[in-house]
């Protein structure tokens, strides 16, 4: 069974550009995806087992689950960085055969080039776009401004905090205006205050640019703050246990009864 977006998502105050994939077409289609890795004994270890999931254009979906449930593996398959052992992945009806099909990726570790400034790190994303040096510079400054770092354009990674480095990583991922933003625990290594600030920043960027986002996190709070839907994965092997629609308008308070009730429901499923 393929999990679908509830049509009510399209009417959320904060998701007016969202779409029900059943009504408007499945933007990302994950069908029967399985993944195995070789074992030391010479056999195969199943990591993902029959993942079926449809994601609509402009939808924000979080993957949540215990370590080892295959969240990052599934994200890498959607990114085209790994191949599925079986099943299909398509974006806008076209099979995913590798990276560079409209996917921008942000990892937990920022992976910036230490010898390049913030502006040059972002401009690196334009290296195959056929732009002049001046055009690359102007666009990189524009993206740094989008993530609130225009004043840090000339700084090197060692001169920036972890939160600032991740903002640069997000700007670089946005450099070629990807249709899809794939994020693998991008705020997991940050302190709690910085993490909350970057969650708010990401939502601002998402609402301004309207990307389809697939976001991996261990944090239920983070998933509830950000997502239209939360996909709960169970391990051994990784499979979808349940999908939660998050129908609260944004911005979301973490202290409301509705927020806390949904948190407890997800926690109960996760811990059972």
CATH numbers and ranges of domains, the chain: 7-102+178-271 (3.40.50.300), 108-162 (no CATH)
| pLDDT tens for the 272 residues of the chain, in order | 555 543 333 333 333 334 444 434 469 999 999 999 988 888 889 999 999 999 999 999 999 999 999 999 999 999 999 999 999 999 999 999 888 778 999 988 778 999 999 999 999 878 767 788 888 889 999 999 999 999 999 999 999 999 999 999 999 999 888 899 999 999 988 899 999 999 999 999 998 888 999 999 999 999 999 999 999 999 999 999 999 999 999 999 999 999 999 999 999 999 98
Give pLDDT, residue 26.
Answer: 61
Q: Is 247 exposed, middle or buried (0-12, 13-18, 19+ CB in 10 A)?
A: middle
The count of residues in the chain is 272
Name beta bridge partners: 37.
45
Could you tell me the pTM of the whole model? Answer: 0.87
Tell me the C-alpha distance between 50 and 31, whole Å.
8
**Angle subtended at Cα 140 by Cα 139 and Cα 144, rounded to the nearest 5 degrees:** 120
């Amino acid at each position: 069974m393929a999990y679908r977006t509830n049509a009510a998502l399209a009417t959320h105050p904060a998701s007016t550009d969202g779409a029900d994939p059943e009504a408007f077409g499945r933007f990302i289609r994950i069908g029967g995806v399985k993944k195995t890795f070789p074992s030391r004994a010479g056999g195969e270890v199943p990591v993902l087992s029959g993942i079926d999931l449809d994601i609509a254009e402009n939808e924000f979906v979080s993957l949540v689950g215990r370590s080892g449930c295959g969240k990052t593996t599934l994200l890498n398959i959607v990114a085209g960085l790994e191949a599925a052992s079986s099943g299909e992945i398509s974006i806008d009806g076209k099979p995913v055969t590798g990276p560079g099909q409209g996917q921008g990726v942000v990892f937990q570790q920022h992976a910036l080039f230490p010898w390049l400034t913030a502006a040059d790190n972002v401009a690196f994303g334009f290296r195959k776009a056929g732009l002049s040096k001046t055009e690359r510079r102007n666009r990189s400054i524009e993206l740094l401004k989008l993530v609130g770092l225009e004043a840090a354009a000339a700084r090197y990674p060692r001169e920036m905090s972890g939160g600032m480095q991740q903002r640069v990583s997000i700007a670089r991922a946005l450099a070629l205006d990807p249709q899809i933003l794939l994020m693998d625990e991008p705020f997991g290594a940050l302190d709690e205050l910085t993490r909350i600030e970057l969650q708010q920043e990401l939502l601002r960027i998402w609402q301004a640019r309207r990307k389809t986002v697939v976001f991996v996190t261990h944090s239920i709070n983070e998933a509830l703050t950000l997502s239209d839907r939360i996909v709960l994965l169970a391990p051994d092997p990784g499979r979808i246990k349940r999908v939660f629609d998050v129908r609260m308008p944004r911005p979301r308070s973490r202290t409301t009864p509705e927020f806390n009730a949904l948190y407890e429901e997800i926690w109960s499923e996760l811990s059972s």
